[in-house]
Amino acid sequence: MSELTHINQSGEANMVDVSAKADTVREARAEAYIDMAPETLQLIVSGDHHKGDVFASARIAGIQAAKKTWDLIPLCHPLLLSKVEVQLEALPETSQVRIESICKLAGKTGVEMEALTAASVAALTIYDMCKAVQKDMVIGQVRLLEKKGGKSGHFEVKS
């Protein structure tokens, strides 16, 4: 098992020094799901929600969140992201919304946390916009799907 990189020999949390690492192209994909009643999903899909376009708001929130990850997670590095994409898909058969985020950069550290944060905050935004019509929505299965670049190489979830 690998050692925890954010903990020093005294057991104290520290930000990892990446200054000696070479810049490489790095990319990460993450997903999140939000379960809801069929009526809530229909309200989103039809565009009849009184707060406006739920998917557009969630997409922008996810992009903004990826850019602010370093401000939310204490030991994350501030990154110069070159790409953030957030895709939302209504799944009527399971009464869910699937959110997939992609983050990319050329830099010294990975973008996994940014992709996970983008997907999570997009899901939270959907919850926030729809809580007036349904309070028991469930956000779940937030996970890293794929990571490319860097010393640890390529990782992809086996479906």
Q: Is residue 144 part of a domain?
A: yes
CA distance 116 to 158: 18
Contacts of 16-22 with CB under 8 Å at 24 or more apart are 16/75, 16/77, 16/109, 18/77, 18/108, 18/109, 19/108, 21/108, 21/109, 21/151, 22/108
Domain span at 57: 32-156
Whether residue 21 is contained in a domain is answered as no
- The pLDDT score that the predictor gives to residue 152 is 84
Instruction: Residue 123: give its domain's CATH number.
Output: 3.30.70.640
Domain count, the chain: 1
- At 1 the pLDDT is 44
The answer to the question of whether 114 is labelled as a binding residue is yes
Percent of the chain with pLDDT over 70: 92
Instruction: Please tell me the distance from the alpha carbon of residue 90 to that of residue 45, in angstroms, as a whole number.
Output: 7
Do the domain assignments include residue 23?
no
Residue 128 domain-assigned? yes
* Residue 113, domain member (yes or no): yes
> What is the pTM assigned to this prediction?
0.91
Residue 26 lies inside a defined structural domain of this protein: no
Please give the positions annotated as active site: 128
Is 130 annotated among the ligand-binding residues? Answer: no
For the stretch 21-43, pLDDT in tens is: 889 999 999 999 999 999 999 99
* pLDDT, tens only, 65-92: 999 999 999 889 999 999 999 999 999 9
Residue 13, domain member (yes or no) = no
Whether residue 89 is contained in a domain is answered as yes
Q: Is 113 annotated as a binding residue?
A: yes
